[in-house]
Every structure is written in C-alpha cells, then in structure tokens.
Amino acid sequence: LSICSRTVEPLEYYRRFLKENCRPDGRELGEFRTTTVNIGKCLCSITTADGSALVKLGNTTVICGVKAELAAPAVDSANKGYIVPNVELPSLCAERFRSGPPGEEAQAASQFIADVIENSQMIVKEDLCIANGKLAWVLYCDIICLDYDGNLLDASVFALLAALKNVHLPLVTINEETGLSEVNLKQKNPLIIRKHPVATSFAIFDDTLLIVDPTAEEEDLATGTVTIVTDEEGRLCSVHKPGGSPLTGAKLQDCITRAITRHKEVKKLIDKVIKSITPK
C-alpha cells in the first residue's frame, strides 16, 4: 500500500485495511490507542488550579484545570452551586483550528461536557452549597486541547473526571456576627463525586462498520460518529450522535456493551494513578 494512495484516495486506502479488520496504525477495529493520565501538582503548567489532570489518548492530548471560587447562589436555585465547563481548541493544537472566539466544534464540545455533568449527576449541585441562599462554590472547569488527533470527547471527559477527583475544597463557614465568610485552608475535604462517567466514541465507516477511538483522519473519512457515556453501574448517561449514518438498535447495543467494558479500564487507570499520588 503506497503512501501515494493514502494521499490521493484516502478512503480507498482505509477500506483496504478495514477489509482485513485492522487499521493503518496497526490497531484492530475495537482497539483503543495507548491511554495515559497524570493527575495533580505534577502539572507545573497549572499549579494555580484546585485540581488538574492531563490525559493522552494516542497523540490527542488534553489538559483540565478546575478552579473553585465562592459566589452567591442564583435566586431560583438558592441551595445549589455552579459548574462551568469550557473546552478550548487553540490554533496550536491542530491546523484546522483558528485563533479567536470559540469555534463551532469547541462550543459543541463544551455543551456536550455540560450535558454529561448534568445527566450523569457526577456532581450534585446541592453538594456545592455552603449556606442556603448566601454562599456556594463555583467550579470553573477549563479543558484545553494541546494536541488534536481525533476523539476529543473521550479525552475531555476523562481529563475532567480525573481533575475533579483531584479537587480538595477548604472548609468555609459564615461568621454569624459579621455575616462574612471565613475560609479555613488548613482543613480541606475532597470534592464529593457521586458518579464516574466515561465516554467511548466510535466512527462509522460506509454506514455499517464501527471503529473505536477514531483518529482525526478517521473522523474525517467516517460517515458518522457516536459517543456513548456510561457510569460505573453500567447506566447509560448520554448518547451523542451529531448526524451522519443512522445506527441500528443492534449496533447501538454493541456500542453500549463496548462502552461498559471501556469504563472499567478507565476507572481502573484513574484509581491506580490516584493511589500512587495519595500520601501513605
């Protein structure tokens, strides 16, 4: 298979591999790229964050920093805090992205992350309330892609979960005499994470063939993509399918089954890394 055919007829080039149930990078159709995660202060670039993580999925590299601030709750949600996710795709991560306001892809990814947080109930907003109607935590979750090679959503959800697992919030009380908040930095508690959502993405080739963890090239050649989000109980939190080829019920069920298996792998990886950085 010549490099020329990959450049001139990339889809035909891919089809030759897919017929043999493999891909140009040597992976099987259901095989993920090497996945690594670093959590916490080892990330010198964002030491100001209250929690941070860096995830690599093959060449796709995503960093997440969580910053916690205090604010008054909204009038109609007096007992709730806020979670504000934001995904950035800077021009340095791939040629396809431009400097300036967030593009369509970044906005769609930010909305996807917001939906995952809401649907999975990974963090219950009531847990972020300090004093009803007076004070609550705001979690600003900034997810920045450093290197884009496909499957942004899986890497982003993974980085978000790992960063949130790293957050410890100081004890905050309100002085009844002055009405002012008092922060005790010496007494910190881990953020309460109720669920652990994990995303698993697939590219659909020629309307029928499913491949997992697509690269940027595979996404461009695919006739559609689908992302399945599950939690540790195997519960379906989200199905994200932005147009493209329709999926039969059987194919969708196949994706969900694979996503549940992937969840176990990712959770095991996070637990292992957290255990290695937890003081004995």
- Is residue 145 situated within a structural domain? yes
CB neighbour list of residue 171: distance below 8 Å, 6 or more residues apart: 183, 184, 187, 188, 189
Domain that holds residue 214: 28-277
Q: How confident is the model at residue 99 (pLDDT cuts 50, 70, 90)?
A: confident
Stretch 137-164: mean pLDDT: 96
**What are residue 133's phi and psi, to 5 degrees?**
75, -5
Q: Which of 210, 204, 196, 206 is nearest to 260 (CA)?
A: 196
Task: Yes or no: say if 190 and 123 are a contact pair by the CB < 8 Å rule.
Answer: no
Q: Where are the beta strands (DSSP E) in the chain?
A: 35-39, 51-57, 60-71, 82-88, 129-131, 135-147, 168-174, 181-190, 198-205, 209-212, 224-230, 236-240
- Calculate what percentage of the chain has a pLDDT beyond 70: 95
Give the Cα separation of 167 and 67 in Å (integer): 9
Q: What is the mean pLDDT of the chain?
A: 90
- Is residue 3 situated within a structural domain? no
- Is residue 172 situated within a structural domain? yes
37 in helix, strand or coil? strand
- Is residue 20 situated within a structural domain? no
Cα radius of gyration (the chain): 21
The tally of domains found in the chain comes to 1
- Is residue 191 situated within a structural domain? yes
- Is residue 23 situated within a structural domain? no
CATH number, domain with residue 44: 3.30.230.70
Query: 12: part of which helix (H) or strand (E)?
Result: helix 10-19
**Which residue in the block uniquely carries the two structure tokens 């930010």?**
110
- Is residue 177 situated within a structural domain? yes
pLDDT at 225 over 60: yes
* pLDDT digits 0-9 by tens, 180-214: 888 888 899 999 999 999 999 999 998 888 999 99
- Is residue 267 situated within a structural domain? yes
Give the Cα separation of 112 and 48 in Å (integer): 26
CB neighbour list of residue 108: distance below 8 Å, 6 or more residues apart: 242
* pLDDT digits 0-9 by tens, 38-68: 988 655 446 678 999 999 999 999 999 999 9
